[in-house]
Amino acid sequence: QVQLVESGGGSVQPGGSLRLSCAASGRRVFSIKDMGWYRLAPGKERELVASITDGGSTNYADFVEGRFTISRDNPQNNLRQEMNRLRPEETAIYCCYARTRFVTIVESKGVNQEYWGQGTRVTVSS
């Protein structure tokens, strides 16, 4: 119903920058409410990096410390994240997610669904 395709990952030196993108498509793309980025690093659990609502409100993890900026296009639902001053410990797979909410016709109830991209690898090393 929603497909997410990430791009923009790669290798960068410590202190460098990368721009991640996530393109959303599918039948439920216009039902997307929240979008964001999670990351999975070796030896760590998956953690939220940043999120943004359909109204443009943003939320960042504490470790971001002002270094990242998340944004999106509406109604296209293309997600972007500018990451600056990257650190080696931030080497990880960065995954795009989207949450949709819609009301079913038959049951007339709200339904939340989550969708995930395959991820894009970010490597920060000297």
In 3D, which of 115, 118, 122 has the Cα closest to residue 14?
122
Distance from chain centroid for Cα 89: 18
113, 3 Cβ separation under 8 angstroms? no
| pLDDT of res. 31 | 92
| pLDDT of res. 75 | 65
Distances (CA, A) of 61 to 27, 90, 95, 98: 30, 13, 15, 17
| pLDDT of res. 73 | 86
Compute the C-alpha angle 59/62/66, nearest 5°.
75
- 15-57, pLDDT tens digit by residue? 999 999 999 999 999 999 999 999 999 899 999 999 999 999 9
Nearest-angstrom CA–CA distance, 61 and 103: 31
Distance from chain centroid for Cα 6: 9
- 55-110, pLDDT tens digit by residue? 999 999 999 999 999 999 876 779 999 999 999 999 999 999 999 999 989 999 99
